[in-house]
Structure 1
Amino acid sequence: MSALEPISMQAVSEKVVLARKGRLEEDAQFVVNPRLTSTEFIPLEERMAGEKPEIAACLAKLKEKVGSETFAKRFNVLQNINRSDKNLLIVTGSERLRTLLLKEHLKDIMDAFSVDNVRIVGGAGFGGIDAF
């Protein structure tokens, strides 16, 4: 007599399906805050023109360097940019975009903004729920 039993892939599949049931079905619970509002996302170029004109001028230089199509895909979707003297902070919202900017556009960013140090952070997502 053997203690080993043959494995039935059908039985394994059924167990996996049962184990997965209910996963990701929970509703996220948020504290209701009447002062908190949700607004439609406005492209970075438009926001900076109104909020930070000095950043908007640098964004125009950057758009010239990288081209309109690349600028729309990679820079207009950024969450925020802040500058202090020769330092620049960019909030991307995703690690993928952060990596692309560092890999392919770091020199262009430094030239357009005339900065020595650039810090790009990502991963917060647009909801901010998974912010670090």
Structure 2
Amino acid sequence: MPVNRKNCCLSSPEGRGRDGHGLPEEVEEALIACGGVRAMQAHLPDPDRLACLCAVHRACADPVRLKILSLLSTQPLCVCVIKQVIGIADSKLSYHLNVLRKAGLIEGEPQGNWIIYSLTDAGRRCTEGF
């Protein structure tokens, strides 16, 4: 939805909205102290970083994936153990592991016929509250 500049407190050069009132004093002082709106825009993460953050948050927004992260926070595990503990079908587990891997939260290391999954540093940071 486009911003209605007529109702925006920053729509006029004086920083006054349609009602004639400016920003609350503390907000205006803080905005000036940080360099204004353009300086705040410069603090926004770049699109690649935002995409990464979105992937991590989407990955952590599912209870099954949180269970997997919780299990892996105790020790690296193979798929068969994760499957048995959670009680999930192979295809669903594969999907969830792929989401977590693409988000950079887990990694799989082949060991013979097995793939052993473990948390990455980012995955460990996400599970610190578990």
TM-score (norm. length: structure 1) = 0.28
